[in-house]
Structure 1
Amino acid sequence: MASKSSKPAPKKRVGRTRLKREEIEQLFAAFHAIEPEPKGELEHVNAYTLLVAVVLSAQATDAGVNKATRGLFSRADTPEAMLALGEDAVREQVKTIGLYKGKAKNVMALSKRLLDEHPELAPGDVPEDRDYLESLPGVGRKTANVVMNMAFGHHTNAVDTHVFRVSNRTGLAPGKTVDAVEAILDRVVPEQYGLHAHHWLILHGRYLCKARTPECWRCPVIDICKFKDKVPNPADTPKKKARSAKAA
C-alpha cells in the first residue's frame, strides 16, 4: 500500500478572468486597431543587448535606460565586447540609472556565463531557453519573457507593473501576484493576439490606465473594463466657484 507521502500534491488553482470570451476578443481587437504592431520601447541591436537593456530597466524608465545604453551598446554589443570593456567602464556608462552598481556587476556576470557556457552562439545571440535565461544574474521571469517574446517570437506575457495593474483593473487577469496574472494571461489571451498582448497592456497602462489618475474618459475599452472607480473627463466636471464669489 502506498504511503501518504507518495500521494501527488494537489494542483494549485489558477485564477479566472472576469471577462467573457467575446469581451477579451473585443479588448485586444481594440488595442490592435490602434497599434497593429506595438514595439517595446527599449532600444537594442540584438538579443544580447535586449537582455542587457531589460536587466538595466528594473526600477528605471525606458527613456532613462535608452539614454544610457546608446553609448554603452555603441562600444559593446556582444558578451565578449562587454567583458573587454570592463566593469568600471560599464558602471560609468550606466551611472544615471538607479541601482547602477549592482546592475553593472550583473551585466558582467551574465556576459561571462554566456561566453563560458554557450561558446557556440553567434555574437549577439542568447539561448532560446527561458529557464536558462532566468538562471542568469539579474534576470528574472519578466526579463526572460521579454527576450523570449521579442527576440524569438514566443507568445510569452511579461508582467511588469503596468501589465499587472491593467490586468487587475480591467478584470482580464485578476491576480495577487505577477505569477498568478501571467498564468491567467497565458490561458485567456487569444492566439492571434499572443505575440503582442503584453506590449498592448504595457502601453495602455503607461499612457492611459495610469496608476494614480487613469484617463478612463478616453479609454478604448471603457465599456469592457470592470474597474469600478472610473475617472470622468475633467472637462465635464463642474468647476468650483471662485473663493471671491463665495466670499461675496
Structure 2
Amino acid sequence: MNIEKFEMLYEGKAKKIFKYNDEEVIIYFKDDVTAFNGIKKDSISGKGKINKKITTFFFELVEKEGIPTQFVKDLDENSFIAKKVEIIPLEVIVRNYTAGSFCKRYGVEKGIKLENPIVEFSLKDDSLGDPMICENVILSLNLVEKDVLEKLKEYALKINEILSKFLTEKNIILVDYKLEFGKYNDKILLADEISPDTCRFWDKDTMDSLDKDVYREEKGDLIDKYTEFLRRIDI
C-alpha cells in the first residue's frame, strides 16, 4: 500500500505516523537507525520490516496476557494500524541486568543480574536528550496523575514477566528495555514498539548482543543479528 497518500502526523527517528481515520493511525517503520540521540545515523535496508514484525508479535503476546495495546491489525510489511493515542510524555525503562547508561551512571560493570527489576523514567523530549526523571518530579510537574504513574509501573513489570518468560525459553536474556504508553478514551495502552531498537537482548550462552548495541558499538552486521533474533523467537 502507498501510505504516502495518507496525511503524515509525525515523523520520529525510526517511524512515521499517518492518519488512517479519526480513531486510528498507521505506524510505519523506517529503515533509519540512530544512536546517541541521533548523533550517529544510517539507513539499513530491511530494518523497518523486521522491527515491525517483532513489535506486532510482542504486542499480540502481551495483549493475550491482559496488557492493552494500541495495535489493531497488520497493514503491510512495514506498517500496522493502531489506535490513535495521546502519548504520555514519559519513557518507562525496565532493567534486569546492568548495561549501557546504567553502568556509566553508577560506575558498575556490565552484565550484573539485578536482584529485582528496576523501573526508571525519562522525560520524552528529544530537545533535552530524554533526561532521567524521578517520580517526585513527575508528580510535581503534573506530567501524569499518581494513579497513572502506578499503572505504568504495574504494566511495565507485568510485561517484563511475560517477555522474560518467553525469551528464557528461547535461550535469550531480556537485559533492559524502553516502553511508551498512550491514553485512548481514558484507557492506558502500550504504544510505539517493542523491538531490538528499544530493548537489549543477549544470547544466554555467549552474552552476544541481538539488538541495536551491535550498531552502537560496531560489533557486527545489524540486519544479521536482527534476523537471528527473528529466527530464535520462531516468527
TM-score (norm 1): 0.26
Question: Going by fraction, where is strand more abundant, 1 or 2?
Answer: 2
Question: Going by fraction, where is helix more abundant, 1 or 2?
Answer: 1
TM-score (norm 2): 0.27
Question: For the pair shown, which has the larger CA radius of gyration, 1 or 2?
Answer: 1
